[in-house]
Amino acid sequence: MTISALQFSLLAIPAAALLSASMTRAILPLLLKHALAKPNARSSHRIPTPQGGGIAVIGATLVVAGAIMANVAAPDLTIPVAVFGATLFIAAVGFADDVNSIPVLPRLVLQGLAIAAVVFAAPDDLRIVPAWPLWIERALTLLAGLWFVNLVNFMDGLDLMTVAEAVPVTAAVALLGWLGDAPASAMIIAAALFGALLGFAPFNRPVAKIFLGDVGSLPIGLLLGWCLLQLAWQQQFVAALLLPLYYLADATVTLLQRMARREPFWAAHRSHFYQRATDNNFTVSRVVGEVFALNVGLAVLAIASIRAHSVAVDVAILLAGSIAVALLLRRFSRRRAL
């Protein structure tokens, strides 16, 4: 990796943070007039709040990352170009859904098209399990990507929750890039998204002045999923699993529980563990604070797994991370004494 790529990725953080904050402040009056999210029985907020802050976060991420990639000789820009296009497309889908709800099936088809553009743009030599036929691996990756993008959307239900998840993940991927363990393109995009989320965070902290909306959560899920896919393509499976493990566990366990109870699992609800925590006397700040602390720990474990180069250490690290996630889910599911 070139020194210039490292230097530019460091500059991406403050540049994206400043641009994201400026854009958020600029669009806030417009969103107050035209994009209010009104509280309902499933909401975690109590007053109408503008949504659409993802316009600033994604806009800042793509502008800064694109400007850097235009001036840095990254190893392969074919995939980032597809990622940029897919990110803009899925953001447009999210914005349309924010303004006028799109039925489930067409929404999933449109999301699937964006994810397919990323998955099938990858060179054939980028493989997760080389022993499998390529078409099977790509199809499974597409399904996994569709689930991941949607679970990031599902989990964006509290002030700062997506920041608490995505900041440690992007920081870890950027750091791995600086250490030479992740591609330059992933490092640059992760650093830009990290900065953009930091710029947005002051507007989204409890009580939030603005929400990301689907225009933010969907493309953030796509970008995070692509960064994790970069690790999986390099056979760094433990790190790729550990970084989003809390989100994966909360969303997947909740889905399975709802299916077991024969509930309409595709409908909006308040069954996620982090949502149940607020019903169990946890404040919003405490919930996102504990999720953030857990995610920082998972990021440290993920980096350690890559640097250790040991199967035994990987197993121990994955077990430790899984136990930490399980303990937090259990804690959120029990009423907290006042």
Mean pLDDT in residue range 38-57 = 76
Q: What is the mean pLDDT of the chain?
A: 91
Q: What is the mean pLDDT of residues 275-286?
A: 93
SS3 label, residue 94: helix
| pTM of the predicted model as reported, rounded to 2 decimal places | 0.94
| Strand, coil or helix: 36 | strand
pLDDT band at 10 (very low <50, low <70, confident <90, very high): confident
Q: How confident is the model at residue 278 (pLDDT cuts 50, 70, 90)?
A: very high
Q: Could you tell me which residue, 130 or 37, shows the higher pLDDT? A: 130
Question: In this structure, which amino acid lies at residue 200?
Answer: F
Q: What pLDDT, on the 0 to 100 scale, is given for residue 7? A: 73
Q: Which of 203, 167, 155, 185 is nearest to 82 (CA)?
A: 185
The mean pLDDT of 64-75, rounded to a whole number, is: 81
| pLDDT at residue 262, rounded to an integer | 85
DSSP percent split of the chain into helix, strand, coil, nearest 5:
70, 0, 25
* CA 137/CA 229 separation, integer angstroms: 12
Dump strand ranges (E) for the chain: 36-37, 49-50
Q: How far is CA 210 from the centre of its chain?
A: 18
> What tokens appear for 5 in the block?
């790529």
Q: What element of type H or E holds 226? A: helix 214-233
The string of pLDDT tens digits covering residues 73-107 is 655 566 788 999 999 999 999 999 988 889 989 99
Residue found by looking up tokens 């965070």 in the block: 201
**Share above pLDDT 70 across residues of the chain, in percent, rounded to a whole number:** 93
| pLDDT, position 42 | 58
Q: What number is the average pLDDT over the span 59-69? A: 94
Q: What are the tokens at 100?
A: 């006028």
The residue among 184 and 198 whose pLDDT is bigger is: 198
- Local confidence band at 209 (pLDDT 50, 70, 90 cut-offs): very high
Distances (CA, A) of 195 to 56, 123, 129, 203: 12, 29, 33, 14
The mean-pLDDT minimum among 87-91, 181-185, 212-216 falls in 181-185
Write down the pLDDT at residue 40. Answer: 58
